[in-house]
């Protein structure tokens, strides 16, 4: 099955920067069954399943604990970055063309939470089919419905709804947990948590721990990979 283009305004890709890329590759390949390509000139390594690419790994560029970077797709990356900064965000890495595969930009919200934009060319994004090993969704942890909600509405035209979902153009693009909740992965006020689909959550959790993961905060489903990046596992839809 060929990957399809994600609707603009939805999460379309993710990657992880870590100090020891090979360790991360071995962990996620062992847990999620990914096949990981050899590194390109910059050390970036693409990971995939038979259906398509799912994520990527690269050398860490930011200080502190590693984290999964969330990419939001756009049809006009210059306009998206402009709207983000007008709403109060800042640009970390300006719009950069990546050959024919697309263009990216890195931004931060007013609280310092990083996010990236992706305007696809030949690379359409992650293969999010609902099958085991694919991206199941993203959660915005520790969000303030008033402050964070107002920013997301202005910057991305996202709506934080009372039912715990985040919507864009009538589609659910993420979920959120409130500020002050025991999320176990909140840095700088709020943070992203990526969820990967697995066939059996208890069995996959046990496998993750065998491979070097740690349990997150008590009472949460958060796991920390061997490098300290947070993630969660959820039951596959397909």
Under 8 Å between Cβ of 160 and 143? yes
Helix and strand totals (H; E) in the chain: 4, 16
Q: What is the mean pLDDT of residues 47-74?
A: 94
pLDDT score for 180 = 57
Q: Which of 2-11, 67-76, 84-93, 139-148 has the lowest mean pLDDT?
A: 2-11
pLDDT score for 183 = 52
Query: Which CATH number do you get for residue 166?
Result: 3.10.180.10
| One domain for residues 92 and 22 | yes
| One domain for residues 105 and 173 | no
pLDDT score for 219 = 85
Under 8 Å between Cβ of 230 and 222? yes
| One domain for residues 19 and 109 | yes
List, for residues 113-167, the tens digit of each pLDDT value.
999 999 999 999 999 999 999 999 999 998 888 999 999 999 999 999 999 999 9
| One domain for residues 113 and 17 | yes
Which domain-ending residue is among 60, 90, 120?
Answer: 120
Domain count of the fold of the chain: 2
**Parent domain of 92:** 11-120
pLDDT score for 238 = 63
Q: What is the mean pLDDT of residues 82-110?
A: 97
Tell me if residue 37 falls in helix, strand or coil: coil
Check pLDDT > 90 for residue 5.
no
Under 8 Å between Cβ of 157 and 33? no
List, for residues 161-201, the tens digit of each pLDDT value.
999 999 999 999 999 998 655 455 444 457 999 999 999 99
Best CA proximity match to 141, nearest among 50, 221, 54, 201: 221
Check pLDDT > 50 for residue 235.
yes
- Does residue 97 lie in a domain region? yes
The pTM of the full predicted model, rounded to 2 decimals, is: 0.94
Which domain-ending residue is among 66, 85, 120?
Answer: 120
Helix 201-210 × helix 21-32 angle, to 10°: 150
């Amino acid at each position: 099955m060929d990957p399809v283009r994600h609707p603009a305004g939805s999460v379309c890709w993710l990657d992880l920067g870590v100090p020891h890329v090979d360790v991360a590759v071995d962990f996620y390949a062992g847990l999620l069954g990914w096949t990981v390509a050899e590194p390109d000139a910059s050390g970036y390594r693409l990971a995939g399943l038979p259906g398509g690419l799912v994520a990527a790994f690269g050398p860490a560029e930011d200080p502190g604990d590693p984290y999964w970077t969330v990419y939001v797709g756009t049809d006009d990356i210059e306009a998206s970055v402009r709207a983000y900064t007008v709403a109060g965000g800042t640009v970390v890495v300006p719009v950069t063309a990546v050959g024919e595969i697309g263009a990216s930009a890195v931004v931060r919200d007013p609280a310092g939470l990083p996010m990236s934009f992706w305007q696809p060319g030949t690379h359409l994004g992650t293969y999010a089919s609902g099958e085991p090993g694919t991206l199941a969704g993203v959660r915005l942890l520790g969000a303030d419905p008033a402050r964070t909600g107002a920013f997301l509405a202005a910057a991305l035209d996202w709506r934080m709804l009372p039912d715990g979902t985040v919507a864009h153009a009538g589609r659910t693009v993420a979920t959120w947990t409130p500020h002050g909740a025991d999320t176990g992965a909140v840095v700088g006020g709020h943070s992203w948590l990526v969820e990967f689909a697995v066939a059996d959550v208890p069995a996959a959790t046990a496998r993750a721990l065998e491979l070097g993961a740690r349990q997150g905060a008590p009472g949460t489903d958060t796991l920390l990979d061997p490098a300290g990046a947070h993630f969660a596992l959820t039951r596959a839809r397909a």
